[in-house]
Amino acid sequence: MQEYWEIYMKLIDGKIASVLFNAGISIDIEENKYIFPTIAFVKVKLKEPNERGLLSQSEEAEISFLEDKLEASMLKFRIGKYVGRIISDGHVTFLYYLQFTYNWQDFLEFALKEFQNYEITSGYQEDGEWNYYKKLLYPTPKEWQIIQNHKACDALKAKGDNLHLPRAIEHKLFFTQGEEQKEALIAKLKSKGFRVQGEITNKEGVKGLGFYRIDKPFYQDIDDLTLQLIDLVEEYGASYDGWETSVVKS
């Protein structure tokens, strides 16, 4: 089971949530769902959440310590795998997939004996299809795009880029349902101010297009742009495949 973690923001039941999840585990879901068929949770009520119901800086160290103790206990009793954490509405929920449950209480007592000052609930239920992971923790295509956007923005910023300065941003798309609507899509992109650079082909031989426009790669701006492009190209039987740009400093 691979360890590769991502964090992103989303709305859950109308409330802003910070979601941390093991993305690497998704590669082996078909195998893991038979070995670890039970979803379990440990839900901790925060003492001092911030104004958005998320973890405040003053409580971060203690919650991190609690998380470490839970992980140490999971390793000690070898009953499952830690797959994600959700912080929302004044609570932190740690999620695990279990191989067996007979020593769940031993796991809890060992992990939480130092945290009697917290209000904590826990439980487990069968989830042989890993629906909690797939539908709650795992990002939608649009949420994945925002994760990649912010990584790219962070990388540009680390090189001294002024993200507020407009420049040519190049995009890619690939046709997932044939090229019947290619000309209509090109016309639509041009009507939005994009210039089409030409045809491209990925490693699997799927054809697509490269196109660009002058825009700002600042976090919110690039999020708005790419989410619009995802919707636009899907209307024409295509899939959006990301963007790149050059570093522009002040």
CB proximity list for 200: less than 8 A, separation 6 or greater? 172, 174, 207, 208, 209, 210
State residue 1's pLDDT score.
56
Distance CA 122, CA 101 (A): 13
pLDDT, mean of residues 101-112: 96
pLDDT digits (tens, 9 = 90+) for 36-75: 999 999 999 999 999 999 999 999 999 999 999 999 999 9
* 153 closest CA partner among 63, 54, 225: 225
SS3 of residue 140 by DSSP:
coil
User: Strand (E) positions, 46-194?
Assistant: 80-88, 91-98, 120-126, 167-175
Name the DSSP class of 89: T
pLDDT, mean of residues 12-38: 94
Distances (CA, A) of 134 to 26, 186, 216, 242: 9, 34, 33, 22
pLDDT, mean of residues 198-215: 95
H helical segments located in the chain:
29-35, 57-77, 104-112, 131-132, 141-158, 182-191, 219-234
Distance CA 37, CA 162 (A): 48
pLDDT, mean of residues 183-193: 97
CATH 3.30.70 fits 5-137, yes or no: yes
Distance CA 66, CA 201 (A): 48
Domain ranges for the chain:
5-137, 141-245
Specify whether the CB–CB gap between 189 and 250 falls below 8 A.
no
Are 5-137 and 141-245 in the same CATH fold? yes
Q: Does the pLDDT value for residue 250 go beyond 90?
A: no
Specify whether the CB–CB gap between 200 and 209 falls below 8 A.
yes
Neighbours of 130 (CB within 10 A): 21
* 83 closest CA partner among 68, 96, 66, 101: 96
- 240: tokens are 């959006």
Query: How many Å is the Cα radius of gyration of the chain?
Result: 22
Specify whether the CB–CB gap between 209 and 186 falls below 8 A.
yes
Q: Does the pLDDT value for residue 2 go beyond 70?
A: no
pLDDT digits (tens, 9 = 90+) for 109-139: 999 999 999 999 999 999 999 999 999 999 9
Distance CA 106, CA 115 (A): 15
Neighbours of 171 (CB within 10 A): 23
User: Considering the domain 141-245, what is its CATH architecture?
Assistant: 2-Layer Sandwich (3.30)
State residue 179's pLDDT score.
87
State residue 13's pLDDT score.
94
- Say what the pTM is: 0.86
State residue 178's pLDDT score.
85
Q: Determine which helix (DSSP H) or strand (DSSP E) holds 243, and give its type and residue range.
A: strand 238-245
